[in-house]
Amino acid sequence: MVQYILTPWRDRAELLAVRRQFYPDAAPQAQLRPGHAGQHDAVARVSLWMQRGGCPHLVEVAPVLKKAIESKDIDLTAIVNTHHHWDHAGGNKKLLQDLNLAKLPIIGGVQCEGVTRTPAHGTSFQLGSIAVKALHTPCHTQDSICWFLQDGDDKAVFTGDTLFHGGCGRFFEGNATEMHKALNETLASLPDDTVVYPGHEYTKANVKFCISVLPSEAVRKLEAFAEANKETQGKFTIGDEKQHNVFMRVEDPEIHKATGESEPVAVMAKLREMKNNFKEPASKI
């Protein structure tokens, strides 16, 4: 049995390959990415590519999925959302309508479009050989859920707009207390070798802020990687984030100096305020 899950996109080369195969005369925003998950199971990630200022191109995703389903190359078993914002959960119903799969489960927060199941915090379910655990992380939205996946020794967490490489989401529906708990208790408790898949590619912008607050070796390594690579999603672990993400270093004395705060929640609040108002230093050239 082959299982499928909807997740953020991560590899532009694979995205372009799908474009060439299915839409040679257009510019579709669809990606079909298969990968082995276990001895008897496999996982594929069907991803929605978001252009800046754009919207999910579900009308283009559906034909890709439909062809694979009809050829029995895949068995689409669920849509999994991280939170209700339109660029993550918008179009759930339309996609299932186009696929003639109206009864397929939509798993996510209570506000996600068409959601049929919201697992409680800490509960798990199976996708083939993969154990999926729901980690409720309210703040960016109150229905934000990060998804921890484990298949044998392989571990990953899909963090939506809660945790980014070198950053975190804005506190649209929550506060610093909630984000501190989400990052430095819930996600920080995961194994350090858990690979992080954020919902957006914001690393280059994030690391510029991190450098301004904590110009450490770990942060400079992240900066160098971001400058050398167009895509960074899935390239770093929870252990890495604890080293280079200032929002996960609220106990660091250097960050206390930069923020003028020392209590963890106060540090988190000040960091978010500073990030919201941050302007990249002008070039010296």
85 as an active site residue: the answer is: yes
256 as an active site residue: the answer is: no
88 as an active site residue: the answer is: yes
**DSSP sequence for the chain:** -EEEEEEE---HHHHHHHHHHH-TTS---EEEEEEE-SSS-EEEEEEEPPPTT----HHHHHHHHHHHHHTTS-EE--EE-S--SHHHHTTHHHHHHHHT-TTS-EES-TTSTT--B-PPTT-EEEETTEEEEEEE--SSSTT-EEEEEEETTEEEEEEETTEETTEE---SS--HHHHHHIIIIIITTS-TTPEEEESS--HHHHHHHHHHH---HHHHHHHHHHHH-S--TTS-BHHHHHHH-GGG-TT-HHHHHHHT--SHHHHHHHHHHHHHT--PPPP--
**Whole-angstrom distance, CA of residue 30 vs CA of residue 182:** 31
Closest alpha carbon to 213 in 254, 182, 159: 254
Among 88, 136, 165, 180, the one annotated catalytic: 88
**Whole-angstrom distance, CA of residue 261 vs CA of residue 1:** 53
Among 11, 41, 87, 252, the one annotated catalytic: 87
> Do 11 and 23 form a contact (C-beta atoms < 8 A)?
no
Q: Give me the residues paired with residue 7 across strands.
A: 47
Among 84, 136, 140, 165, the one annotated catalytic: 140
Among 57, 84, 143, 161, the one annotated catalytic: 161
Among 57, 84, 85, 244, the one annotated catalytic: 85
121 as an active site residue: the answer is: no
Among 180, 200, 240, 244, the one annotated catalytic: 200
57 as an active site residue: the answer is: no
Strands 79-80 and 75-76 turn out to be: unpaired
244 as an active site residue: the answer is: no
- Amino acid residing at 132: V
Which residue numbers are catalytic?
83, 85, 87-88, 140, 161, 200
